[in-house]
Amino acid sequence: MNYQFKVNKTTASRLASEDFNQLGFGKVFSDHMFVADYDNGAWKDLRIEPFGYLPMHPAMSSIHYGQSIFEGLKARKNEKGEIIIFRPDKNIERMNKSALRMAMPEIPIDLFYQALDELLQLDHTWIPTGDGQSLYIRPYMFATDEFIGIRRSSKYKFIIFTSPVAAYYSEPVKVYASDDYVRAFPGGTGFAKTAGNYARAIQPVEEINKRGYQQILWLDGIDKKYLQEIGTMNIFVIIDGKVITPSLDEGTILPGVTRDTVITLLKEWGIPVEERRISIDEVADAHKAGVLEDAFGAGTAATISQIKAIGYKDKEFTLPAFEEREISMRLLEAITAIKDGKVQDTHGWLRVVSRVSV
């Protein structure tokens, strides 16, 4: 289906006032945003407008009751100057699963792509081209009913804005497996990318930061021993040549796009990969036996982030040196080359947006 958009272009681009050598992450916003309003069962008033503030009613229900979901993906330019987006089909699929769980309306896939393509074409000069830099894309949806009471909202806003970001070279991280706090449990919302999942992590992360760890390694909420995920990354451990990652079966883990990419590549390379329950005791035993070869997080921000050490109760399991970890290094190189459009896209993972209409 072809949607009709109103496009109201800015008359005062902010591009010239931004220094692309000082981008950092999430602080600079491109000139335009896409906005759509859901009312009476349909997405209406589709428009691209200058990035700016939104009017808000004090009783807007998402603020009080948390019907709010989001996604995160990245665009780059390839050597031909075409805009390329890595696996956006996975993001819209996940967004619609989050929407269903949070009693929110789905975004039609054609609408998502059309909004994304038009917005990126219009703001293509905001896609930074420095080594490792990219344009972070943030689609999100929230309930806008002006109402006090807990029920499915009848009105929503869907917005996409973009933000040029610096290269993210992740230093190896120290993670702490916490049995004091729980992120998700079967039947909960762990698989959904919904605001509350992130809010509940802030205070526990601050606590472990004070103890010298950067991220929490979440354990399951029932036995408090099975690994779930780390911050905004899925976890992989390599024990005695086998790559192991928690399975998605219980609905407690976000099904990461990078996770799926890692599993696909490992299978193609003939490296054994198991999606199953893995306990912190198994990790501890492997460490004791000298067969804990690697551990890393996988996510859009850093792609692959090696883990330096895993803390648990009063112990710390230290991982081998960075350079000795052949598999995580190979994954990082391979996925980066695909995302940058530097190797042939044999999986059909890149959406190529032409810039011709701009």
Ligand X SMILES: Cc1ncc(COP(=O)(O)O)c(C=O)c1O
Binding site for ligand X (CB under 6 A): 72, 229, 232-234, 254, 256-259, 299-300
Q: Which amino acid is at 12?
A: A
Nearer to ligand X, 32 or 259 (CB): 259
Nearer to ligand X, 121 or 336 (CB): 336
Do 37 and 177 meet the contact criterion of CB atoms below 8 Å apart?
no
Q: How far is the CB of 91 from ligand X (least distance, A)?
A: 7
Structure token pair of residue 245: 């990652």
CA distance 59 to 148: 7
Nearer to ligand X, 18 or 345 (CB): 345
CA distance 146 to 61: 6
Structure token pair of residue 114: 């059309």
Of 244, 228, 227, 248, nearest in space to 236 by CA: 244
Q: How far is the CB of 47 from ligand X (least distance, A)?
A: 27
Q: How far is the CB of 201 from ligand X (least distance, A)?
A: 8
Do 276 and 247 meet the contact criterion of CB atoms below 8 Å apart?
yes
Nearer to ligand X, 30 or 234 (CB): 234
Nearer to ligand X, 120 or 257 (CB): 257
Tell how strand 173-178 and strand 156-165 pair up: unpaired
Nearer to ligand X, 195 or 238 (CB): 195
DSSP state of 357: T
Write a three-state SS string for 178-217. Answer: ECCCCCCCCCCCCCCCEHHHHHHHHHHHHHHHHCCCCEEE
Nearer to ligand X, 122 or 160 (CB): 160
Q: How far is the CB of 64 from ligand X (least distance, A)?
A: 23
Q: How far is the CB of 112 from ligand X (least distance, A)?
A: 16
CA distance 307 to 286: 15
Sign for the CA dihedral angle at 157, 62, 256, 131 comes to positive
Element (H, E) at 234: strand 233-239
Q: How far is the CB of 331 from ligand X (least distance, A)?
A: 12
The gap from C-alpha 75 to its chain's centroid, in whole angstroms, comes to: 13
Do 135 and 165 meet the contact criterion of CB atoms below 8 Å apart?
yes
Chain position whose Cβ is nearest to ligand X: 256
Q: How far is the CB of 240 from ligand X (least distance, A)?
A: 25
Q: How far is the CB of 17 from ligand X (least distance, A)?
A: 30
Q: How far is the CB of 263 from ligand X (least distance, A)?
A: 11
Nearer to ligand X, 74 or 287 (CB): 74
Nearer to ligand X, 50 or 132 (CB): 132
Q: Which residues pair with 227 in a beta bridge?
A: 219
Long-range contact list for 336-341, CB < 8 A, 24+ apart?
336/132, 336/303, 338/86, 338/261, 339/74, 339/76, 339/84, 339/86, 339/303, 340/76, 340/78, 341/76, 341/78, 341/79, 341/82, 341/84
